[in-house]
Chain A
């Protein structure tokens, strides 16, 4: 599998603050990598390091299996922080200007304008656009030249629900039809969950966890929790009924990932064996709860 992006101990330090701290990330071809973190966690700084608009303190970046970075970046489209636009130019003129640098035919420009819904803005200058329109134009500029890797920093920022859906559909279409690899950061966790194949959770510059979407679903599914006094004995009792692979003991609790409808009978079994049960709960960790737990909040 082609490795599109690999970072090794990538670090960016501003004075004493470690904005990005020894991040080791791997993105394979075809991934839609969701980058999650609270404000100031280091997502944008990391993306800027990958794109070369900021300089790393240490560490390395490998793109497209070791291609020279400047050449590799010709194959990347990006939207970082606010969109960079020529404010005195129309949407078409902006795309035309950038197509001189990035490549892109007249036909592709018209297609992109239609795709981002700015084909009827006429002579309106980009400086007069709403935030959502500017964001769309920024996405359009990122798509010029048919990039193989898209890096999008909060691309749905400022978009209405219809616009958010259009961007989501666009991301999925690019990934499925053109095999474009995508690194996307967003605060809208539910929106991310609809598109990403892999998550990276970053907190205070540290990549806390990388997990595939399927594994995350597994971790976030419903669980039955017993709060008991004697965990070891309780586990051995429950093992006679519940597969041991579905039993987990932590922090004075027994967590079962199966037999969720058998809470009453399992409780009765424990009580009959003189196990004191002080609490029974069915829990579901949504993406938000999981994320909050992983960043320690």
Chain B
């Protein structure tokens, strides 16, 4: 993960050099246009989580952590000793959230340090405040919780490590395809489904500057997804016979 972030930083640096020499920056590369000085520690801080392929890591970790007790048969040992299913699943969920928090902070730290070493700390865009930037980071953390909750639900549903990992990796891709298809079919007339799915929201907040309406939409989506997936995961988990 550490290497992934650092390699991403180096690759971006190389691309930037090439683009400066050979390619005229277009309006579509709006991330770079927001910067006074291009890549920086702050920029790497805001994109570190997206660069780390954290969804795959979370899918694997949570599948192993939640399904391991089913696979080993150790969950029945705990339940048979009188420990309530609700408290078991809540404790597993909290540990998953703590792991997601630690991982996210670690990504930020490594991203910031990598970027600072290569390009310096940098500064925020002119139209951004420190408070807004911190808010972006907190919404990114909420996005990590939303993904955690989704993988937790998948693990509670399937109870098998291998299947849970596979579904955790494939399901987001399939969901994106279905949502994109819906958008095509509805021709994005009044409503874009993609704008409200996790992946799209996550891309939107992986920047140093995010418009407030987009920030609000992403925040609401992450919060709702977190609650829905967490509640569903617990309802399923507490009805499982072991």
Interface residues of A (CB under 8 A from B): 48, 51-55, 69-74, 76, 78, 80-87, 98, 101-102, 141, 145
A–B pairs, 15, beta carbons within 8 Å: A52-B79, A54-B241, A70-B82, A70-B84, A73-B80, A73-B82, A74-B81, A80-B76, A80-B80, A81-B73, A84-B74, A85-B73, A87-B72, A101-B83, A145-B81
Q: Which 10 A-B pairs have the closest CB atoms?
A: A73-B82, A84-B73, A51-B80, A84-B74, A70-B82, A74-B82, A84-B77, A54-B241, A78-B80, A53-B76
Picked from A55, A71, A101, the residue with its CB within 8 Å of the CB of B241 is A55
**B80, A52: Cβ atoms under 8 Å?**
yes
Chain B interface residue count, CB cutoff 8 Å, equals 15
**B80, A141: Cβ atoms under 8 Å?**
no
Least CB distance, A138 to chain B, in whole angstroms = 9
B224 at the interface (CB under 8 A from A): no
Least CB distance, B67 to chain A, in whole angstroms = 13
**A101, B81: Cβ atoms under 8 Å?**
yes
For B56, list chain A residues within 8 Å (CB).
none
Interface residues of B (CB under 8 A from A): 72-84, 241-242
A53 to B81, CA, bound (A): 10
Least CB distance, B86 to chain A, in whole angstroms = 11
Picked from B73, B81, B241, the residue with its CB within 8 Å of the CB of A73 is B81
Least CB distance, A139 to chain B, in whole angstroms = 12
**B74, A86: Cβ atoms under 8 Å?**
yes
Of all chain B residues, which has the CB nearest A98? B77
Of all chain B residues, which has the CB nearest A70? B82
A145 to B79, CA, bound (A): 15
A36 to B73, CA, bound (A): 24
**B241, A85: Cβ atoms under 8 Å?**
no
